């Protein structure tokens, strides 16, 4: 096989072994585009929900005036543009990040039980935030510290895996579990040392996930990392397809499995770290949404990755809307993701019957 024809053969092979079954081509295409557009109407509805309800038509008028450069006219304009809109955008970006990273991890490691916390990134981020809250009480520094320690956990996992002279997926997974457990123990120590009347409640609430403190200042870093990393993973979608066949098959098709896994793992971990730094520890999104995506569009990452981004964004947006409207007091996001995510995963696995299919 010539070097010029190898990429075409790789793409043909990757797409041929993961073609989704069921339904016509037109029906699958319509379903794909409807799933991609799902977060848009949900965002419009969410902008109007809350203690002060606003109709969807009024929300669209407020957004239209803002896009035209007109200043806010009423309290409703300020509520939508300054309070609800940045929070909803953060929910969409975080949901897309967690779901996309979970899809990438499950694909390259061929494991349906891994998610965005594969390398201990969320445990490291949780410890970083808890440490900052204990020492300073500053939520902005807690976000910075969460991102730093989340990436540190990833580096430690890679270092531990290579220390044994192996970069095998199993060794990397075990290293991630060990690093995550270590940072979880350190977080427990921080909670033991924290003031039970002041600092401990703040740490506990942050660890359960919340977008209460999100403002427009919270979005630039989150948006840049999410858009760039999601775009990069989308460009690498056919490599993920090939890696899901196994390392030997990937090497036979001309893909450097080791380097590609490091690149994809780094991108997914970066997405997870910035998401956790902004919204706290939010579980189940990166585990459940990839399964839902496979059920709807099949395992081909050409369609699965974009749909996972969209489903994750829509799911977390619904969860955040419930957290701020369901009860008089705001409920942490992690509570609802667990309550909804566990039954949803059981249902998805029952629908798939075999539980996991690659082709």
Question: What is the tens place of the pLDDT at every residue in 70-115?
Answer: 888 889 999 999 999 999 999 999 999 999 999 999 998 888 888 8
Is pLDDT above 60 for 359? no
272: nearest Cα among 50, 55, 120? 120
Is pLDDT above 60 for 22? no
Better-scored residue on pLDDT, 129 or 20: 129
Query: The whole model's pTM is what?
Result: 0.88
CB 50 within 8 Å of CB 76: no
7 confidence band (pLDDT: 50, 70, 90)? low
15 confidence band (pLDDT: 50, 70, 90)? very low
Measured CA to CA, the distance from residue 155 to residue 245 in angstroms comes to 26
Q: What pLDDT, on the 0 to 100 scale, is given for residue 111?
A: 80
Sign of the dihedral through C-alpha 201, 320, 119, 142: negative
Measured CA to CA, the distance from residue 87 to residue 49 in angstroms comes to 13
Is pLDDT above 90 for 29? no
120: nearest Cα among 159, 94, 91? 159
Q: Is 317 helix (H, G, I), strand (E, B) or coil?
A: helix
21 confidence band (pLDDT: 50, 70, 90)? very low
The average pLDDT across 182-197 equals 93
Question: What is the tens place of the pLDDT at every residue in 300-341?
Answer: 999 999 999 999 999 999 999 999 998 888 889 989 999 998
214: nearest Cα among 123, 134, 94? 94
Measured CA to CA, the distance from residue 157 to residue 356 in angstroms comes to 26
CB 327 within 8 Å of CB 339: no
Question: What is the tens place of the pLDDT at every residue in 283-302?
Answer: 899 999 999 999 999 889 99
106: nearest Cα among 216, 229, 233? 233
Q: What pLDDT, on the 0 to 100 scale, is given for residue 358?
A: 46
Measured CA to CA, the distance from residue 81 to residue 94 in angstroms comes to 19
Encoded tokens for 61: 């008028």
Encoded tokens for 100: 């996309």
Percent of the chain with pLDDT over 70: 90
Domains detected in the chain:
86-352 (1.10.3470.10)
Q: What pLDDT, on the 0 to 100 scale, is given for residue 113?
A: 80
Interaxial angle between packed helices 219-235 and 301-325, expressed in degrees from 0 to 180 and rounded to the nearest 10: 150
The secondary element (H helix, E strand) that includes residue 31 is helix 25-37
Task: Name 159's Cβ contacts closer than 8 Å, sequence gap at least 6.
Answer: none
Q: What is the mean pLDDT of the chain?
A: 86
Better-scored residue on pLDDT, 253 or 229: 229
165 confidence band (pLDDT: 50, 70, 90)? low
């Amino acid at each position: 096989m010539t070097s010029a024809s190898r990429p075409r053969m790789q793409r043909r092979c990757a797409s041929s072994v993961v073609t989704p079954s069921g339904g016509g081509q037109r029906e699958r295409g319509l379903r794909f585009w409807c799933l991609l557009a799902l977060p848009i109407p949900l965002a419009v509805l969410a902008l109007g929900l809350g203690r002060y309800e606003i109709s969807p038509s009024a929300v669209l008028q407020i957004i239209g005036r803002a896009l035209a450069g007109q200043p806010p006219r009423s309290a409703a304009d300020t509520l939508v543009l300054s309070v609800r809109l940045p929070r909803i955008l953060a929910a969409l970006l975080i949901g897309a990040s967690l779901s996309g990273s979970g899809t990438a991890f499950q694909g390259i490691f061929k494991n349906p039980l891994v998610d965005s916390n594969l390398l201990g990134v969320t445990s490291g981020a949780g410890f970083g935030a808890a440490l900052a809250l204990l020492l300073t009480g500053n939520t902005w520094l807690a976000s910075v510290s969460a991102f730093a320690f989340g990436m540190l956990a990833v580096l430690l996992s890679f270092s531990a895996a290579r220390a044994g002279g192996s970069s095998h997926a199993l060794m990397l997974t075990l290293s991630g579990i060990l690093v995550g457990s270590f940072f979880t123990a350190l977080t427990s120590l921080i909670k033991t040392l924290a003031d039970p009347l002041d600092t401990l409640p703040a740490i506990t609430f942050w660890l359960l996930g919340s977008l209460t403190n999100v403002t427009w200042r919270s979005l630039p870093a989150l948006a840049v990392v999410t858009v760039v990393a999601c775009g990069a993973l989308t460009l690498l979608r056919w490599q993920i397809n090939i890696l899901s066949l196994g390392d030997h098959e990937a090497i036979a098709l001309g893909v450097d499995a080791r380097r590609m896994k490091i690149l994809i793992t780094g991108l997914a971990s970066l997405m997870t770290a910035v998401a956790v730094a902004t919204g706290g520890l939010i579980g189940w999104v990166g585990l459940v949404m990839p399964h839902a995506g496979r059920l709807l569009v099949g395992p081909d990452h050409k369609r699965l990755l974009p749909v996972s981004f969209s489903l994750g964004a829509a799911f977390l947006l619904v969860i955040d809307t419930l957290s701020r409207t369901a009860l008089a007091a705001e409920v942490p996001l992690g509570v609802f993701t667990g309550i909804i995510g566990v039954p949803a995963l059981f249902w998805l696995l029952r629908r798939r019957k075999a539980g996991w299919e690659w082709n």
